[in-house]
Amino acid sequence: MGGAVPVRCPACRRDHAYVPPAYACPCGAPAVPPLLRGAPVAPVTHRTWTDDWVTVRCLGCGRHDQWPQPELCCPCGAVLRLPVRPVAAPGRPTATSDPTATSDPSGSPDPSGSSSPSGHSRTDRTGPTGRANATGPSHIPLPRTAPAPRPPFRPVAIRSARDAVAAAARYLTWLGYRDVTRSAGRPASRIDLRAAGAIAQVDATTRPSTRRDVECLWLHALNSSVTGVFFSLAGYAPDAGERADALGVPLFTMDPTGRPHPLNGPADDLLGTGP
């Protein structure tokens, strides 16, 4: 559960190395969705609330929580949902066991028991995927310190650029930011949202957001002594993701349902601890 898992995209046959994300349990231990090895990945063609969330048991305290279903976004455009081993109720055995600990979730066996697939992982910055790492997640979110668990986030479908900004504003409020307001029109600074302690840019275009976009947002946030949060519908260029990691800018992608997905370490921390 702690290493990279080989995943093959059924659409383009590209190989990926995927590491499931580690979420912050209230006890402080990382809760990692246990991938069901040997089961085929499924392209996401329709989203429902049930499919987007999965129950994960914390190995530290035994707590059961709902966390986002692991997904990988392939550069070919396919979004792949990775199956997770079901969690049994306390005191009951799990109905499904790990059938082949050395096989690929795409169905391709790996007789050596190790994986060295070629391709891309979370560093593609094209969707809410995992970061390839031979020993475990490259980033474990900080322990959750919010005073109370948040209610489930209820997204709003995105049909226009205005909808994207509205969905991002709703998400910032859900994270815990106060006084979230929208900028009038499209300002030259491209700052679409302002809140107490944060500003946000929402890129609703069809091109991946660039390194320059990330740097401009960071400079505006630095001048205002606030956190700069970036939302993008089309994902990010690889160098934009690397620059955001270095500057500590939280990156989120947004799917058509209006649900943001954390894409890097600062975004994971923001989701886990709030503002």
Domains of the chain, residue spans? 1-140, 161-273
> What are phi and psi for residue 9, nearest 5 degrees?
-70, 125
Confidence of residue 113 (pLDDT cuts 50, 70, 90): very low
Q: Is 158 left (phi over 0), alpha (psi -120 to 50) or beta?
A: beta
Spatial contact of 87 and 57, defined as CB atoms under 8 Å apart: yes
Question: Among 28-42, 109-123, 202-216, where is mean pLDDT lowest?
Answer: 109-123
Please check the confidence at residue 269 and state whether its pLDDT lies above 70.
yes
- What token pair was written down for 270? 């923001």
Give 180 or 185, the one with higher predicted confidence: 180
What pLDDT digit, counting tens, does each position of 208-226 carry? 999 999 999 999 999 889 9
* Rounded Cα–Cα distance for residues 63 and 57 (Å): 6
Please check the confidence at residue 154 and state whether its pLDDT lies above 80.
yes
* Rounded Cα–Cα distance for residues 37 and 101 (Å): 6
Spatial contact of 191 and 222, defined as CB atoms under 8 Å apart: no
- Percent over 70 (pLDDT), the chain: 73
* Rounded Cα–Cα distance for residues 4 and 123 (Å): 13
At 166 the three-state DSSP class reads: helix
Torsion of CA 246, 140, 14, 157, to 10 degrees: -90
- What token pair was written down for 181? 């307001």
CATH of 161-273, one of 4.10.640.10, 3.30.530.20, 3.30.450.40, 3.40.1350.10: 3.40.1350.10
* Rounded Cα–Cα distance for residues 234 and 183 (Å): 22
pTM passes above 0.75 = no
Please check the confidence at residue 230 and state whether its pLDDT lies above 90.
yes
* Rounded Cα–Cα distance for residues 210 and 60 (Å): 39
What pLDDT digit, counting tens, does each position of 59-71 carry? 888 888 888 888 8
> What are phi and psi for residue 7, nearest 5 degrees?
-135, 130
**Single-letter amino acid, residue 87:** V
